[in-house]
Amino acid sequence: MNRNVALALAAVTVILITGVVLSQFSSSDPDGLEYVSQQQGFDDAAQDHTLDDAALADYGENLDQGPVVGTAVAAITGLAATAIITVGLLWLVRGRHHDSSRTP
């Protein structure tokens, strides 16, 4: 197998395990900033998110299929979205200025 393909497959495996499996065990305690805002008494200043009712808000919490499926669906959607947008944007940036001689 090509070395680049092997690396990509290994990376995708790690990413899927992290996003779909490890995320199931994510701590529900407040993160550092939220914790500090509570300790210092400015957590009341936080407003509800504008898109709290969105289908995938809070990483699948609004979905009816339960937390495990919800988290998995959120992870796969997010992974695909970030990867596709990155590829699309860099491809656009590259555009017609692409000079294949620069590819090592």
Partner 1 sequence: MHIPDGFIGVGTSAVAGLGAAGGFAYALRQVRRYLTDRLVPLAALAAAFVFAAQMVNFPVLPGMSGHLIGGVLAAVLVGPSAAYVVMTIVLIVQAFLFADGGLTALGLNIINMAGVAAVGGYFVYRAILRLSSGTRNAVAVSACIAAFLSVPMAALAFAGEFAIGGTASSVSVSSVLWALLTTHSLIGLGEGVITFFVISAVVNARPDLVYGSPDFVGERTEALTS
For residues 59 and 76, is the Cβ–Cβ distance under 8 A?
no
Interface with partner 1, residue 93, by CB under 8 A: yes
Interface with partner 1, residue 42, by CB under 8 A: yes
CA distances from 88 to 36, 93, 99 (A): 38, 9, 18
Integer Cα distance of 83 and 44 in angstroms = 35
For residues 45 and 37, is the Cβ–Cβ distance under 8 A?
yes
Q: Which of 1, 2, 27, 66 binds partner 1 (CB under 8 A)?
A: 27
Min separation Cβ 3 and partner 1, Å: 7
Q: Which of 13, 67, 69, 82 binds partner 1 (CB under 8 A)?
A: 82
Backbone CA torsion sign across 5, 10, 11, 15: positive
Contact positions vs partner 1 (CB under 8 A): 3-4, 7-8, 11-12, 14-16, 18-19, 22-23, 25-33, 35-37, 39-42, 44-47, 49-52, 54, 56-59, 71, 74-75, 77-79, 81-87, 89-91, 93-94, 97, 102-104
